[in-house]
C-alpha cells in the first residue's frame, strides 16, 4: 500500500525501540498537540513500536513521525529492516499476541508500508476528529 507523499513532520523523534520507550513516547505525545486530544495516535504509535521490539528486537533504532494534512493525522514508524513486513492476522481467542495490526486497522482510516532501500516505514492515517 502506498501512502500520500511525505510532508514535513509536525513531530519527529528518533529513539531505540525498547519496552520502556513505549510508555515514554505515549507520555511525550500526551503533551503534544497532535497526541493529547487523540488517544488513537498514542495507541497506534504504541502498537507500531511494540511490533518493532517483538519482530526486530530490542534496541532497534526507529524514527516516529506525526504529520497532519487536511483533516488527517499520519503516524509513521521507520525501522532499518526493509524485509520484515507486518502481516495482518487473525489472533485466536486464547492467543496472547497478534492483535496489534488488527487494532491499528480498526482505528485507522487506512495503513500501509513503504519500503526503502535500507528501511521500511509502517504508517497509518487517522481522522483528526
Instruction: Please identify which residue in the block is written with the cell numbers 516505514.
Output: 121
Going 83 to 86 to 92 to 97, the CA torsion angle's sign is positive
pLDDT of the residue at 22: 95
pLDDT of the residue at 70: 83
pLDDT of the residue at 96: 58
Sheet harboring 72-79: ordered strands across?
11-17, 60-69, 72-79, 120-127, 110-115
- Tens-of-pLDDT digits for all 129 residues of the chain? 455 555 678 999 999 999 999 999 999 988 887 666 688 999 999 999 999 999 999 999 999 999 988 889 999 999 999 987 776 666 567 655 556 788 898 999 999 999 999 999 999 999 975
Q: How many residues does the chain have?
A: 129
Q: How far apart are CA 76 and CA 45, in angstroms?
A: 8
Specify the pTM: 0.85
CA 39 vs CA 1, 33, 107: distances in Å: 24, 11, 10
Amino acid at each position: 500500500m502506498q501512502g500520500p507523499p511525505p510532508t514535513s513532520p509536525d513531530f519527529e523523534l528518533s529513539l531505540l525501540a525498547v519496552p520502556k520507550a513505549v510508555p515514554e513516547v505515549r507520555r511525550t505525545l500526551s503533551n503534544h498537540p497532535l497526541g493529547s486530544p487523540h488517544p488513537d495516535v498514542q495507541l497506534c504509535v504504541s502498537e507500531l513500536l511494540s511490533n518493532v521490539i517483538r519482530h526486530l528486537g530490542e534496541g532497534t533504532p526507529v524514527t516516529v513521525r506525526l504529520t497532519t494534512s487536511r483533516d488527517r493525522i499520519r503516524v509513521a514508524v521507520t525501522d532499518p529492516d526493509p524485509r520484515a513486513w507486518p502481516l495482518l492476522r487473525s489472533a485466536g481467542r486464547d492467543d496472547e499476541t497478534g492483535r496489534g495490526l488488527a487494532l491499528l486497522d480498526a482505528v485507522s482510516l487506512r495503513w500501509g508500508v513503504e519500503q526503502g532501500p535500507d528501511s521500511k516505514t509502517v504508517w497509518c492515517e487517522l481522522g483528526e476528529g
